[in-house]
Amino acid sequence: METKPNLEIILIGDNLASLKYIQIKQKIGDQIGIKVNLNHFQESVQSSEIQSILTKTNKTSDGLIFQLPVPDKFNQFVPKTPLKSDVDLLGEYSFLLWQKGFLPPTIGAIDLVLKEILGWQKDLDFEDFINSKIDLSGKTVAIVGQGVLVGSPLLRYLQQRQATIISINKNTKNTKELTQFSDILICAAGSPELVDKSWINPKTIVIDASTSESDGILVGDVKPDSLFDTNLLCASPGGIGRITVFYLFYNLCKLAQL
C-alpha cells in the first residue's frame, strides 16, 4: 500500500467516553503514521454537513466511523457509511465484509483475547492467527447487552463459532441465575459497575467490553474488585478498548488494500 489511508471520525455531541476513546485513536494513529481527522459537531449540525463527509469518503480509500452513541436524529446516516470505508462494519452492506472475514473492531478484539486466553493454535503466524476461526463448541457464553456496536454482532460471531449462547437484555428475568452457568461472560450493557461475583461462578472468564461515565470518571460494566480471586478478568477501561483500536486500524489498512 503506497499511500496510507486517513481515518475520518464523526462525533456529534460531547460524550466523555467518546472523547477519551478518540484521543487514544489519534495517539495511536500518530504512532503508526495514519492521520485521524476528527469531525466534531454539536447536535445543531445540519444533515448536509454529515452527508458531505459521507460523499467525500466514498471517493477516497479513507476509513469512516461514527463515534457512538449518535443522537437519534442522525442514526439514519450510520448505515450509509460507504462499504470501502466501513471499518466499524455498521453500514448496510457490512454483511459483505463479514463474508470476507472482517470483524467489527470490538468483536475482533474479543476474538483475539479469547484466542490468547484459551491458547488457540499458538503455532500460527500472526496473519493466520488473526484470521483463524476459534472453535467455541462446548463453551457457554453469556452476553450482557444487545447494542448495535457489540451485543448484536457478538451474537453473530459466537453463532459462527458454535458457542452455546445466553443473551441477556434489560427485560431478561432471573439474569444472575442464567449467567452463573457461563464459562465466559462478556459485558456490553453500558451500565456502570453492574456486574459483580453474584453474576458468575468462580471459573468464569469475564470480558468487560463497555466503558461509560460515572460521576465524571470512566468505568466498565464490571466491578473489578468484587469478583472471585479465581476469575480471569479483561477489565475496562484499559483492556478490550486498546485492542479494539488496534483492530480498527487493521480493518482500515485491510480495506484500503482491497
Q: How far apart (Å, rounded) are the C-alpha atoms in residues 18 and 243?
A: 16
pLDDT number for residue 58:
87
Q: Which amino acid is at 5?
A: P
Do the Cβ atoms of 160 and 133 come closer than 8 Å? yes
Q: Return the domain boundaries, the chain.
A: 7-100, 105-240
Residue reference for cell 443473551: 167
Q: How many CB atoms lie within 10 A of CB 60?
A: 16
- For domain 105-240, is the CATH number 3.40.50.720? yes
The tens-digit pLDDT sequence of the chain (258 residues) is: 467 889 999 999 998 888 988 999 999 999 999 999 999 999 999 999 999 999 998 888 799 999 998 999 999 999 999 999 999 999 999 999 999 999 999 999 999 999 999 999 988 998 899 999 999 999 999 999 998 889 999 999 999 999 999 999 999 999 999 999 999 999 999 999 999 999 999 999 999 999 888 888 889 999 989 999 999 999 998 889 889 999 999 999 999 888
Same fold, 7-100 and 105-240: yes
pLDDT of residue 2: 61
> For residue 202, is the peptide bond before it cis, meaning its omega torsion is within 30 degrees of 0?
no
Q: For the structural domain made of 7-100, what CATH number should be given? A: 3.40.50.10860
Angle among Cα 160, 87, 67 to the nearest 5 degrees reads: 110
Contacts of 119 (CB under 8 A, 6+ apart): none
